[in-house]
């Protein structure tokens, strides 16, 4: 074995919330020889809080390029972690459809009518769970289901109201695409109910989501996280025979190669990275078991982004900048490349950042947006705001910032979902560890795409981290008996 190889009891691939939390839980349970290999130069993964804009007092303000809020309070481990750490003062709940709907003709639609439709839309969302809960077979997509249900509801109104309601329905379908992560025509109605909603509303984090991640690093040594370390190969062939440790080959910044070995490896990289590894026949030697490869390939991985617009002189009144875009094009008819901007469903003011608007965009349109020049994105957003607000004086933003999760080689997408080819069982298959012949877990998997009830969420990632840390702790305890 190479003299340069460093051996550790546990290696963790990735410093997102799953990676740092798994490391923390292991250290908390007395497993101290744990090192994280992180390709970037920061912790957080798809949680990325950055400075952009300014507060009302002129101080630097924050935006969330990735995870934006906590989904539910009741038994949400992220919520309780943030609460115990004093990160939720004051408590700020998200109102998804706050603001007004505007048309392409610059007409502001009835807020009362929009609220009626939104209440019914929420009821339809809750009803989708019946197919999974009662094992009712359906081959419908979420696009088909919502289009049909919304049309039936809208048909009850007058002709004038029906026209406006249909426009607002397009806004809500674009919102749902962002929430789930992709075009609704790809998403299975059959298994929508497998995701468990946690009661208590959506909670914003005034101090930034990254602060939640940092709470897990207080017991880290200075060299616990090896930044700028890209894992290029995981050789677990001899490990499964019980002969040698897992060998992890890495590439460092500047081109230097480095090798680590470990008794146990916890992989927390995104589903997008795992998909590429399966497709390119890279990363794992030997290849992952066939059933795990198939589950990785089958599951959907979303495309979601945000565009932040900073204005030195905001053109709106503070607290009054939520513009819902009621596009006239039918949801199913949008060309997501040529008309990428029609997948933006809203421009909203950012919490504690009164000079910044955020535009929410999803589907392949979000991927296409990443590849456009920044100036084009800025001009397009300005043209949309001028058109929908019927205000030619809306200025161009002073600067913009945008997320690029689809093109980022460390993520290759946003978050997982069940598409028409997959089932909830695929999350469990991905989560299954690789064992040696004598039953030792040598390669484990954590992250949101390994959680069958809470996939796509930070609390799913956190819960999976505890699951894998507890698995190893139990193994070590049994070894001592």
Which pair of structure tokens corresponds to residue 356?
A: 């910044």
**Span 97-195+303-412: which CATH code?**
3.90.660.10
pLDDT of residue 98: 84
pLDDT of residue 1: 39
pLDDT of residue 4: 67
Going from N- to C-terminal start, the domains of the chain cover 6-45+208-298+423-480, 97-195+303-412
Per-residue pLDDT tens listing for the chain (481 residues): 345 689 999 999 999 999 999 999 999 999 999 999 999 999 999 999 999 999 988 899 999 999 999 999 999 999 999 999 999 999 999 887 789 999 999 999 999 999 999 999 999 999 999 999 999 999 999 999 999 999 999 999 999 899 999 999 999 999 999 999 999 999 999 999 999 999 999 999 999 999 999 999 999 999 999 999 999 999 999 888 888 899 999 999 888 999 999 999 999 999 999 999 999 998 999 999 999 999 999 999 999 999 999 999 999 988 778 999 999 999 999 999 999 999 999 999 999 999 999 999 999 999 999 999 999 999 999 999 999 999 999 999 999 999 999 999 999 999 999 999 999 999 999 999 999 999 999 999 999 999 999 999 999 999 999 999 999 999 999 887 5
Contact 438, 243 (CB under 8 A): no
Contact 269, 248 (CB under 8 A): no
- Global pTM reads 0.96
Query: Structurally, what CATH architecture does the domain formed by 6-45+208-298+423-480 represent?
Result: 3-Layer(bba) Sandwich (3.50)
**Longest Cα separation, the chain:** 79
First to last CA, the chain: 31
Please identify which residue in the block is written with the tokens 């919490």.
Answer: 351
Q: How far apart are CA 61 and CA 75, in angstroms?
A: 30
Contact 248, 37 (CB under 8 A): yes
């Amino acid at each position: 074995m190479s003299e340069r190889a460093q051996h550790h009891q546990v290696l963790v691939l990735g410093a997102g919330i799953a990676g740092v939390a798994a490391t923390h839980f292991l250290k908390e349970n007395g497993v101290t020889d744990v090192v994280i290999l992180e390709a970037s130069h920061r912790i957080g993964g798809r949680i990325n809080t950055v400075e952009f804009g300014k507060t009302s007092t002129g101080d630097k303000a924050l935006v969330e390029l990735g995870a934006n809020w906590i989904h539910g309070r009741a038994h949400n481990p992220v919520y309780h972690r943030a609460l115990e750490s004093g990160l939720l003062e004051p408590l700020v709940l998200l109102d998804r459809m706050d603001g007004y709907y505007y048309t392409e003709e610059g007409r502001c639609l009835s807020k009362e009518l929009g609220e009626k439709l939104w209440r019914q839309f929420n009821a339809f969302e809750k009803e989708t769970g019946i197919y999974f809960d009662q094992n009712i077979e359906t081959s419908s997509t979420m696009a088909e289901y919502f289009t049909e249900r919304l049309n039936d509801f809208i048909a009850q109104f007058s002709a004038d109201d029906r026209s406006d309601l249909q426009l607002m329905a397009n806004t809500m379908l674009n919102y749902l695409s962002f929430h789930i992560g992709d075009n609704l025509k790809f998403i299975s109605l059959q298994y929508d109910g497998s995701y468990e909603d946690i009661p208590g509303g959506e909670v914003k984090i005034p101090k930034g989501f990254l602060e939640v991640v940092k709470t897990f690093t207080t017991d880290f040594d200075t060299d616990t996280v090896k930044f700028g370390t890209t894992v290029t190969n995981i050789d677990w062939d001899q490990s499964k025979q019980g002969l040698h440790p897992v060998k992890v080959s890495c590439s460092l910044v500047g081109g230097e190669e480095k090798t680590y070995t470990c008794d146990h490896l916890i992989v927390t990289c995104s589903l997008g990275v795992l998909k590429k590894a399966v497709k390119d026949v890279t990363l794992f030697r030997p290849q992952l078991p066939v059933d795990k490869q198939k589950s990785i390939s089958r599951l959907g991985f979303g495309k979601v982004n945000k565009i932040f617009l900073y204005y030195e002189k905001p053109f709106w009144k503070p607290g009054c900048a939520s513009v819902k875009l009621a596009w006239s094009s039918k949801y199913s008819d949008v060309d997501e490349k040529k008309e990428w901007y029609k997948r933006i469903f809203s421009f909203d003011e950012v919490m504690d950042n009164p000079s910044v608007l955020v535009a929410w965009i999803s589907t392949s349109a979000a991927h296409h947006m990443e590849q456009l020049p920044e100036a084009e994105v800025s001009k397009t957003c300005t043209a949309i705001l001028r058109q929908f607000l019927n205000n030619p004086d809306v200025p161009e933003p002073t600067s913009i910032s945008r997320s690029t999760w689809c093109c980022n080689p460390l993520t290759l997408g946003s978050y997982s979902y069940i598409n028409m080819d997959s089932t909830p069982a695929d999350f469990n298959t991905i989560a299954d560890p690789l064992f040696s012949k004598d039953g030792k877990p040598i390669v484990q998997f954590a992250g949101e795409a390994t959680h069958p009830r809470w996939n796509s969420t930070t609390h799913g990632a956190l819960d999976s981290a505890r699951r894998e840390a507890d698995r190893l702790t139990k193994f070590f305890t049994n070894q001592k008996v």
